[in-house]
Amino acid sequence: MSVSIFNKSKHKKIILLIVVIFIIKATYARNQDNAKQYAVLSFFKNQLLHQLLFNAAMTGNELLIIDAVKRNAQLNIQDRKGYTPLIVAVLNGYYHVVEALLMAGAMLSIKDNSGRTALDYALQSNNKKVAALLLEAAKNY
C-alpha cells in the first residue's frame, strides 16, 4: 500500500504539531519548576540581605549597608524583637550607619515590640549626636 505525497505531508504536519505541543508542555513544566526555584532563591537572597543589614548595623559597617541597599534590601525589616537595622544602629551608637540608613530611606516611625522608635532609643541612651541626626531627619520626613 502506497501513501500519497499529500498524506505524507499531512502526517509530517501532525507529527510536527505533536512535537511542538510536547516541547511547549515540557517548556511550561520547566518554567514552572524554574519559577519555584526562583521563588526559593529569592527568599534566601532576601534572608541573606536582611542578615547582612542587621550585621552591618550591629558592627558599624556602613559600606555593607550601602551594598545591601544597592541589592534592594528591605531597610525597614524587623527582627523578632521588632528592631529594624536603624534601631540596631542607634542602640550601638553608630552615627555613620544611622546616617547611611536614613539617606537610603529607612523609616523613623517604625516601633519595636515595646513601642519605641529609633529616636526613643537615641534619647534614652543620651546619644546627642545620633538624636540630633534623627530629629533633623524627622523634620524632612
Residue ranges of the chain with pLDDT lower than 50? 1, 3-6
Contact 45, 53 (CB under 8 A): no
This prediction has a pTM of 0.74
Q: Quote the pLDDT of residue 8.
A: 63
**Domain ranges within the chain, ordered by starting residue:** 5-139
pLDDT of residue 3: 47
Tell me what pLDDT residue 13 has: 65
Q: Which CATH superfamily is domain 5-139 in?
A: Ankyrin repeat-containing domain (1.25.40.20)
The per-residue pLDDT for 10 is 60
- Compute the C-alpha angle 105/83/139, nearest 5°: 40
